[in-house]
A = this chain, B = another copy of it.
């Protein structure tokens, strides 16, 4: 049974290559244009790496040589590079790839990331052959491949990235994604939602290193407490399932968004990353056996990360819904109920406490608690504590809009007061708290919402963008805990 050792040898090799790819001592970027403006793939990787604290030794390649505006030399080829190169990022066109591969073999590169696209995913037979040829030459040389057709590695600690806006901070959430755009969206939006990332891989066509290799790495990565995944095809379902089950047993949360579950989506996945997306039935079975949390959108991946990081102690589904607006409260209760989140009436004792300072007209003190005023004034602590201490309640959902009428300064004051109040009260509550900042409809309200979210994030309070997404995430997390 020679295939077992061979497979496990290749798997071990893969992990060693990924250790290098996520934190290389030296990187070469092939295809760096001397123009510093514009997108140009190579420049993007260079800017991204230079934004990070830990910058490995970086070499830039361009067949025409010369240098960048800041004097950085452009080497004509890998052979010209004066030091060793552990990791190579290729932003050259597919037509130049074979030459680069041969140079990499000669240079003793350990791992290559092909940002380069235009291979099997195009559906063109010649281009698929080229991909096979690349893979063959690398395999012979013992070099491992990330991609092609992907953004590669983002690791603020490891000093590699494609996210060139400089906004990423090191965090405790890992991610594997077949789509670079979806990974960028999760990391970028994550930053705004208080979710920071440890190690992220965008791996496109997954010709060599596939979803199972990346999951294996993140499952054992001590910097990643939670793992998010966006997948189109599954190359090694059995191994993926085995690792997912191990994570489930170790209570390390894994959340998976699967693209291409419908016929149309599956065809799109084949054009995008050359993936065979498989059927929804098969995926349902995988999901059941894998013991991970499913997500249906990029937003849901982050909703679950927020829930896991900031509401780990939620012990059950029964929710107290607090905020202003009768119609909103009715619809909120409907939404919770539809997501299997009960909204039980408060016990009489709780209602009595609330009744003391709540005007009878235009409010309700049952549950939902329709009394927006108490999120702005002195009664917040009394109200939230009374509700949290109600034994019929497992967690609290406070919701607010940010488009309120009245003078802008007063609105801003109100929200600041609310953020300060919630931050002061939350640690004293006997149950977990979530805050929903309902979608804004004006530019002023949107900015106010971002401000409120960031103030609450800083204090470690879970924030969501809609009542629906909050209820759904808590339900998914509880289902996972219950397994």
Contacts and interface: CB of A to CB of B under 8 A. Distances in A.
Contacts of A331: 182, 259, 265, 297-298
Given A271-B364, A361-B122, A405-B164, A338 B117 contact: no
A339 to B, nearest CB: 10
A38 B261 CA distance: 53
A282 interface: no
A116 B361 CA distance: 8
A5 B260 CA distance: 61
Contacts of A118: 360-362
A271 B362 contact: no
A326 interface: yes
A169 interface: no
Given A181-B325, A268-B368, A406-B39, A262 B122 contact: no
A409 to B, nearest CB: 12
Nearest to A164: B405
A336 B264 contact: yes
Interface string A265-287: 10111011100000000000000
Interface in A327-350: 327-334, 336-338, 342-345
A448 B329 CA distance: 31
A273 B122 CA distance: 58
A372 to B, nearest CB: 10
Q: Interface residues of A toward B: which range?
A: 35 or more
B447 A329 contact: no
Contacts of A297: 331
Q: Assembly of this chain: how many copies?
A: 2
Contact of A271 (B116, B117, B181, B366): B366
A230 B268 contact: no
Nearest to A38: B406
Contacts of A39: 405-406
Nearest to A332: B268
A262 B446 contact: no
B259 A327 contact: yes
- Which of A230, A328, A370 neighbours the largest number of chain B CB atoms within 10 Å of its CB? A328
A340 to B, nearest CB: 10
Q: 8 tightest A-B contacts by CB?
A: A179-B327, A118-B361, A262-B337, A271-B364, A265-B334, A272-B326, A182-B327, A264-B343
21 contacts: A38-B406, A39-B405, A39-B406, A149-B361, A179-B330, A181-B327, A182-B331, A188-B403, A192-B442, A259-B330, A264-B334, A264-B367, A265-B333, A268-B364, A268-B366, A268-B368, A268-B370, A269-B330, A272-B330, A273-B326, A446-B447
